[in-house]
Amino acid sequence: MDALFLPLADAVGASVDQIKLISCLLIAYPLGSLFVRIPATKPALRHLYSISVALLFFFPVLKLYSAFFQLLASILATYYIAKFDKSAKMPWVVFVIVMGHLTVNHVIRAIYGFSYETMEVTGPQMVLTMKLTTFAWNVYDGRRKEEDLDKWQLSKRITKYPSLLEFLGYSFYFPGILVGPYLDYPEYMELINETMFQHAHVKATLKAGRRLPPGRKRAAYSKMFMGLVYLGAFVVFGGKYNYAVSLKDDFVKMSLLKRIAIFQLSGPIERAKYYAIWTLTEATLVHANLMPSFFQGASILTGLGFTDLGPHGTPHWNGAANVKVWTIEFPPNFKVLLDSWNMKTNVWLRECVYKRVTPKGKKPGNMSSMITFFTSAFWHGIASGYYLTFLMGGFITAAARQARANFRPLLVPPIADPHAPVPPPTLAKRVYDLLGIILSAMILNYAASPFILLSATDSMLTWQRLGWYGHIIVLGGLVFFYAGGTRFFRGLQKKRGVLPPPRGAKPAGAANGNGTASVMSSGYGTPVSEKNFVLPPSVDKIIPPR
């Protein structure tokens, strides 16, 4: 079958594996449309259909024979361990087995030097690891008392153990099996049974003879179009604008400013391949009623991604999104940027690691954050470049938070009356926002390069040829704040009456009967639901500036 893909691979300068992967994502669109035509009253047929499509991807198209059986082994191990082990250790047993298996394959990938152009087991296995470990915790929560669970755990708990067919259908759900994003078992069964469309207010929007709300195909094919645009940008410009250009001799002959400018163009093109894959996946999920960008569109076609009706009765199909492209490329600050990338992974780290390693009755601390970070790191792989990016990210987060805490209160004073209209931003605030966008994008392109280059040696050479500008901005900023900048700006805030309350203290106006809070109370404490768990604890959390 490779002969079918070779001409196109040669024409666009891509590997055959890349062309086959994109082909699977595109094939998932019409297959997603067929999925929703299987009646919800025949769930077994839907499970079998999803498994059959996954087999089509793995065997005749991708020829990942060993990968399929490795995934099947992890699936069966999880299914029977979670079924028969009723102890509190069960989720951790599943976690160790599944993560250990993934880490072994990461090591094998590193030994053989597989590039991202090679399709092998670790990509699907990373997605499956999130699904299987989440399933184990959902089953465990289903065996606990309801009063011991939080809101997310209550909504996702599994009280009726699935049949093997149901679990295989969930594990091999075809729109997300290759590149994600992942979904949990309750979401999958809602999709199979179409229970999310059974609410009276949703049924009222359905046309005669229709089972699904309108807008699904429009949302899916819009995602497909954007996924193809991202893919086209990567194919056309990727050869000229990529992080590896920094390793060429011609790059060092340019002036430093030109090198930095070219790198800013390379960043979005490097990320375009991720945007393409996730967007196309999301579309398939919605077509099938579920969810990522290439696969995000495919997910929408299956029915995944339906979140509810908007205030004007318009169906929303954005629940499958794994990335917010505009927010990443034009981020108001670095935290918002991180929160918009690989969002499903952040949910998994929060719910299956961060909360779970925290002793009952205690608040999560730096130890919980460090365990979660190392889980994220090993989940991504063992390449040294990953760890350079993650560790750099911890310092970036600290510098960004200090800048926000010291500068923003002076530009956005608190509003005494929360019901009063928000005044228009001042010129200083507009300049602050613009600088935040520019600096966040520049630092992202700098810090993310090791994630693509993989090698620590190549990454350090790249940073050197960029004049270490990211380190100068980030570490220079931290030195400024620790050397007295924080004390100076806090004094200035106190003098102007805009000093935020200490961490943990309840500011005036934060709790006013109707649940609203003043501007003063927003943006200084981060709820667990909004934390990012990919990066290590930032230095200012461990040693705060005085």
Helix (H, G, I), strand (E, B) or coil at 190: helix
Rounded CA separation 161/146 (Å):
17
C-alpha closest to that of 21 among 298, 394, 377: 298
Tell me 414's DSSP state.
Answer: P
**Amino acid of residue 20:** K
Cα 314 vs. chain centroid, distance in angstroms? 26
Q: Which residues contact 441 (CB under 8 A, 6 or more apart)?
A: 264, 267, 329, 330, 331
Q: How far apart are the first and last CA of the chain?
A: 64
Q: Dig out the tokens for 47 from the structure.
A: 């499970």
Catalytic residues: 380
d(CA 446, CA 461): 12
Angle between helices 164-171 and 122-142 (to 10 degrees): 140
The number of beta carbons lying within 10 Å of the beta carbon of residue 315 is 20
Residues whose CB falls within 8 Å of the CB of residue 484, separated by 6 or more in sequence, listed in order: none
CB 169 within 8 A of CB 46: yes
Question: Phi and psi dihedrals of 212, rounded to 5?
Answer: -115, 150
Distance separating alpha carbons of residues 446 and 42, to the nearest angstrom:
51
Nearest to 519 by CA among 398, 411, 431: 411
Q: At what angle do helices 366-380 and 90-112 cross, to 10 degrees?
A: 50
